[in-house]
Structure 1
Amino acid sequence: MEKRRRVAVVVLGDIGRSPRMQYHALSLAQQANLEVDIVANGGTEPHIAIKENPSIHLHKMKPVNLAGVSKISSALALVLKAAIQFVILVQFLCFKIPHPDIIIVQNPPSVPTLAAVKLSSWLRSSKFIIDWHNFGYTLLALSHGRGHIIVKIYLWFEKYFGRTANGSFCVTKAMQHELAQNWGIKATVLYDQPPEFFHPASLREKHELFGRLENNICHPDGIHDCISTVHKVEENQASCYQIDHLSSTLFSTMTDNDIFLKPNRPALVVSSTSWTPDEDFSILLEAAVMYDRRVAAALNEDDSIEEEKLWMDINDGKQYLYPRLLFIITGKGPERRKYEEHIKRLNLRRVAFRTMWLTAEDYPVLLGSADLGVSLHTSSSGLDLPMKVVDMFGCGLPVCAVSFSCIKELVKVEKNGLLFSSSSELADELLMLFKGFPEDCLALKSLRDGALATGSSSRWSTEWESHALPLINQVIEGKHRD
C-alpha cells in the first residue's frame, strides 16, 4: 500500500484564532487525502472538526514570554524572542514531526517564520508554500512608521524569503498584483469563503444559544443598561405569571415546543475584532452614541422618564420606531480592556455592549442569529479582506464595513452590505436599516437576501478545490516553481 503524503501547516500564533489555516488543514485531510501536521502555538482551542479528524495531528509550541527582558530593552527582547522562536520552530519541523512533503506557512508573521520554514524545508528536502494573509512589514509600520529602519529590514526579510517559496497563495487580486509587480512573486488568489458550518441559524439554534449566553448578556457584573435593567423587569413579570425562565430569553420564547422571536426584542449587532490598532473601535462607539442621541431626538422623549418604565410600556403593546441595539463584540486582543472601560462611561439609554469570547462552535450560531454585522477592519496594507465578513455572509448576515481600497471585492454596496468612512455615516446606516424593526425594515431585509445569496454562491471547499489543490499537487510533484 502506498504511503500517504504529509503536509505541515505552520502558524506562528494561536491556531484557534487562525481559521483560514484550520480550513486549509481540514481540506488537506478531507479533500486531498493527506496526513496533516499542524505546528502552531497553543492558546485557544481549534474547531472540533480539527480535533476529531484522525488525519490531523496538532503539535503545540509554547509561546515565548520575555516580559522581564522587555522592561530592560524592548529591542533586545524582540531579537531574543525571534531567535528563540526560530530555534523552536526548526526543532519542531525537523525533529518532532514526521517528514513533510510540503509545508504551508501563514504569513504574517514573517520574522522568523519564513527563514525557519525555508531552512527546515531545505534540511528535510520538502517544498513550501506561503499563504499571504497580509504583509508583516505593514503591521510593524503601524507602530514604527514605514520609514523606520526596523520596518525596512523587515520588508527586505519578508521579500527575500517570500521569493524562495515554491508557491504562494494570497487573499485578493489587489495583493496578487502587488506581489507580482513589486515583489517578483507569482501568487494564486484563494479567496476566503465560509465553510459549511457557517449558515443561518434555525429558531431552535437561536433559542438555545441565547439561553447559553443569558448570564453574559442579561446579568453582566456591574453593568446597568437598557438590556440588564429591562430584562430584570421582564423576569419579575414572568415570575408574576409563573412563566418558566428557561422557556424565555431576551430574544425568544418557547411555548409548547414552539419557538417565537419576541416582537420587542433588541436588534442584535455583531462585530468580531482582534482589538488591534488596525481596527479603530472608537468609530463604532461614536456611532452608538450618535444613534442613541438621534433616536432620543426623533422620539422627543423626556429624559426624566425612567428606563424601566419606558420599556414596560413596550411590554404593554407599544412599540418604538427604533429598537434598542445590543452590540456583541467577540474576540481577544491587547486593546480590549481599554475599550471596555470606555464603554462603561458612555451612559447610553438605547444601546448596550457586551464583549465576550465564544467557542468555535458557538460563533457561527451567533452570526446566524444576529440582525447585522459590523466590520471595522481597515488592513495595514489595504490589500487583504476581513475574513469576519466572509463568515457573516456565510450565515446570511448583512454587513456594514469600513471602506478601504479593495473591500469592494467582497462587499457589494446595497446588495449584501453598506460601506462607511466615519462614525456619522455608520450611525446614519444604523438608523436607516433598523427603522421599523423587526417587521418593517425593508432595507435590512433586502441586504439580508443579498448576503444569503453571496454566502450560498461559494463555499471554502469548492474554492479550495478549484484554486488551492491544483497548486499543491504541482508543488508536491515538483512541476511548479515561482
Structure 2
Amino acid sequence: MMYHAQSFAENEFATDIIGYGGSKPIPALERLPKVHIHHLPELPKFLRTLPFIIFAPIKIVHQIASILFVLLVRISKPPEFILVQNPPTIPTLALVWLVGRIRGSKVIIDWHNLGYSILALRVGKHHPFVKLATWFEGYFGKTAYAHLFVTHAMRDFLVKKWDLQGRKLVLQDRPPRHFHRASAQEVHELFLRLEPSLTFQASLHGFLPSSTAPYSTPFTHTATVPSPVTSSKALKRNSLEYHHGFSSSTAPPIPTTAQTYMQVQLPTQRPDRPALLVSSTSWTPDEDFGILLGALELYEARAQQLAALHDKAGVSKPAQETVAKLPKMLVIITGKGSLRERYMNEVAKLQKDWQWVRCVSLWLEAEDYPILLGSADLGVCLHSSSSALDLPMKVVDMFGCGLPVCALDFACLDELVKDGVNGRVFKNSAQLAEQIEDLLTGFPDDASRLEDLRASLARTSQPSLTPPHVHPPHIHTPDDKQWRWGTWEENWARTVRPLILRDVNR
C-alpha cells in the first residue's frame, strides 16, 4: 500500500494514507510533498486482556468510528479514488463502500487474499462467522469501480464466485526500483549496523568468523589478505584484531587468515564467511515455521555426517575443509508475530547441540530490509496461502534483490516461482533440506546450482518488453529462462496509471 501511495503521489495526486502507526514509512513517503499520513488511534492496552467475545465488538466499533472520522472529516476534499487493500475485510470494505457513495469517490480494491479464508484458519471453515464473513466480503466487494488482483487465479476465482463488477486488472506485486543485489560495501555497512544485535545473540558466540569493527564483519573485510602469519607476535596481533571472535570446540572452525591491516581497501566478501539464509515471516498459522525448523535439523545432521565420514577416512584437516562442501549456515528470520516466541524458544533448545547451523530472529528497519535480502545467499518462503490464490510478497522482495528462493508449494505459486529457473519448490522439510544442501554444496567458491538461479534472476531484472499477462501463467513461453517481470514502477505504470488517468475529473 505504501508503494501504491508513492505511485499516486508521483503521478501528481494529493495522496492521503490511513493506517496504524508502529512502523516507519518508506523514505519516499516522507519526502513527497503530496503525501499526508493519518494515523488511526489504538485501543488502550488494558482492553486487549478482555475475552475475545467482548474485545472483538469493541475493537470493530472503535475502528468504524476512527476510520469514518478520517475519511469524512479529516480529509476535507472528497477523493477521486479510494484504494483499499483486502484483507483486512471487516469493517474496512463496508466503510469504503459507504464513503464512496457519500462522497462520490471511485473505490478500487486491491485483492491480496480473502478475509474469510484467513478467519477460517482461526475458527474453522464451517464456523458461522466464516459464512457471515464470506457474505460480507462478496456483498461489499462486488460493485467496486475497479479490482486489482495479485494473481490471475484470484481474478478468475472471484469473478466466478461473486460476479465482480467494474474493471478487473491483474497487478502482480513487484518490488520498487531500489531493491537490488547488495554490493560488498552495502553488506559491510549493514553488518556493522547489525553488530550490536548479533553480539547480543548468545548462540552466535564462537560460531561466526572473528571480526573487528570497522575493519571487518563476519561476512566482509576491508584489508588485504597476506600469507598466513605464523609468528607468535603476528598471532598475538591477530587475536587482538579479532577480539569479538570465538572458535567452536566441536565443529571444524571456519578458517581464518591473520591479517596485518597494513593497507585498507574497499570491503570484499570474506572467503571464510558462513552461508546466509533469510526467511521473512509474520509468524502466523498460514506460515508453518516447523517446516524450516525440521529442514535445519536435517541439514545439521547431514553436515555432521559428512564431517564424521571425512574424519573416519583419515583426511587431513586442510583437505577435509576442501572436500567437505557443506558450509556453516546462519539463518536470519525477520518479522513480528504471535508465534515468534514459541518457535524461537524451540530453536534455542535444539541449537544447543548444533555445530553447523545457527538461527536468530531480527527486526529490521525498512531501509535495512532490502539490503539484508540483497546480502543473503538463499531465501526461504513458508507462505502456504489460506486461499491458495495469492502470492507471497516476501518472494517478490527477494527476487527484486536477486535472491534465489526455496518456496513452499501451493496452487498458483508457479505464477511467480519457476521451479529450477528462478527458485526451488518444496512440499516438506525433507525436500527443503535436500534443496538447501544441493544449492549450498561448494559454497562459496563453487555453488554452481545457486549461481545458475541467481543468473536467471539477473536476467529477469532487465526492463520488460512484453506485459506479464500476455502469456497466461499456466502456459510457459518457449523459453522460460527468458521470463521477464519488471519493477513495481513498470507494472504500476502499465496497469494502474491508464485506469486512474482515463477518468480522472479535471
1:343 paired residue number: 347
Aligned partner of 2:54 among 56, 76, 85: 76
Alpha-carbon contact 2:283-2:337 (below 8 Å) kept: yes
Aligned partner of 2:174 among 190, 193, 213: 193
Rate the CA distance shift 1:66–1:248 in 2: closer, same or farther, 3 A: closer
Alpha-carbon contact 1:69-1:76 (below 8 Å) kept: no
Residue 371 of structure 1 aligns to which amino acid in structure 2? D
Say whether 1:37 aligns with 2:16. Answer: yes
Say whether 1:386 aligns with 2:386. Answer: no
Rate the CA distance shift 1:184–1:432 in 2: closer, same or farther, 3 A: same
1:267 paired residue number: 275
Offset of 1:262 from its aligned partner?
Answer: 1.2
Rate the CA distance shift 1:340–1:475 in 2: closer, same or farther, 3 A: farther
SS at match of 2:214: helix
Offset of 1:213 from its aligned partner?
Answer: 1.0
Alpha-carbon contact 1:201-1:368 (below 8 Å) kept: yes
1:411 paired residue number: 417
Residue 336 of structure 1 aligns to which amino acid in structure 2? R
Offset of 1:321 from its aligned partner?
Answer: 1.4
1:12 paired residue number: none
Alpha-carbon contact 1:167-1:475 (below 8 Å) kept: no
Aligned partner of 1:323 among 312, 323, 327: 327
Alpha-carbon contact 1:276-1:334 (below 8 Å) kept: yes
User: How is 1:275-286 mapped onto 2 (pairs within 5 angstroms)?
Assistant: 275-286=283-294
Alpha-carbon contact 1:322-1:437 (below 8 Å) kept: yes
Instruction: Identify unmatched segments of 5+ residues in structure 2.
Output: 224-263, 312-316, 463-483
Rate the CA distance shift 1:302–1:320 in 2: closer, same or farther, 3 A: closer
Instruction: Show CA shifts across 1:194-229 (max 9, x none).
Output: 111100111111111111112222x124x23xx421
Aligned partner of 1:422 among 428, 437, 440: 428
TM-score under structure 1 length normalisation: 0.86
Residue 210 of structure 2 aligns to which amino acid in structure 1? E
1:251 paired residue number: 219
Offset of 1:67 from its aligned partner?
Answer: 5.1
Offset of 1:343 from its aligned partner?
Answer: 0.9
1:229 paired residue number: 206
Say whether 1:63 aligns with 2:42. Answer: yes
Give distance in 2, aligned partners of 1:430 and 1:85.
Answer: 44
Alpha-carbon contact 1:375-1:402 (below 8 Å) kept: yes
Aligned partner of 1:94 among 65, 69, 72: 72
User: How is 1:4-15 mapped onto 2 (pairs within 5 angstroms)?
Assistant: none
Say whether 1:134 aligns with 2:102. Answer: no
Offset of 1:279 from its aligned partner?
Answer: 0.3
Residue 410 of structure 1 aligns to which amino acid in structure 2? L
Alpha-carbon contact 2:310-2:320 (below 8 Å) kept: no
Alpha-carbon contact 1:220-1:228 (below 8 Å) kept: no
Instruction: Identify unmatched segments of 5+ residues in structure 1.
Output: 1-20, 236-243, 304-312
Instruction: Say which structure, 1 or 2, has more relative contact order (CA 8 Å, 6+ apart).
Output: 1
Give distance in 1, aligned partners of 2:385 and 2:26.
Answer: 25
Rate the CA distance shift 1:436–1:42 in 2: closer, same or farther, 3 A: same
SS at match of 1:247: coil
Alpha-carbon contact 2:81-2:106 (below 8 Å) kept: yes
Say whether 1:159 aligns with 2:138. Answer: yes
2:200 paired residue number: 220
Supply the RMSD in Å over aligned alpha carbons.
2.1
2:3 paired residue number: 23
Residue 282 of structure 1 aligns to which amino acid in structure 2? G
Residue 47 of structure 1 aligns to which amino acid in structure 2? I
Rate the CA distance shift 1:349–1:93 in 2: closer, same or farther, 3 A: same
Residue 174 of structure 2 aligns to which amino acid in structure 1? Q
Residue 199 of structure 1 aligns to which amino acid in structure 2? H
Offset of 1:64 from its aligned partner?
Answer: 2.9
Of residues 251-260 and 86-95 in structure 1, the stretch that sits farther from structure 2 once superposed is: 251-260
Say whether 1:447 aligns with 2:453. Answer: yes
Once the two structures are aligned, what percentage of the paired residues are identical? 43
Rate the CA distance shift 1:66–1:234 in 2: closer, same or farther, 3 A: closer
Alpha-carbon contact 2:80-2:505 (below 8 Å) kept: no
Offset of 1:245 from its aligned partner?
Answer: 3.5
1:296 paired residue number: 304
Rate the CA distance shift 1:339–1:277 in 2: closer, same or farther, 3 A: same
Give distance in 2, aligned partners of 1:42 and 1:234.
Answer: 39
Offset of 1:315 from its aligned partner?
Answer: 13
Offset of 1:378 from its aligned partner?
Answer: 0.8
Alpha-carbon contact 2:306-2:324 (below 8 Å) kept: no
Rate the CA distance shift 1:169–1:373 in 2: closer, same or farther, 3 A: same
SS at match of 1:424: helix
Give distance in 2, aligned partners of 1:475 and 1:93.
Answer: 22
Instruction: Give 1 or 2 for the bigger CA radius of gyration.
Output: 2
Offset of 1:191 from its aligned partner?
Answer: 0.7
Give distance in 2, aligned partners of 1:66 and 1:349.
Answer: 42
Rate the CA distance shift 1:301–1:42 in 2: closer, same or farther, 3 A: same
Residue 412 of structure 1 aligns to which amino acid in structure 2? K
1:15 paired residue number: none
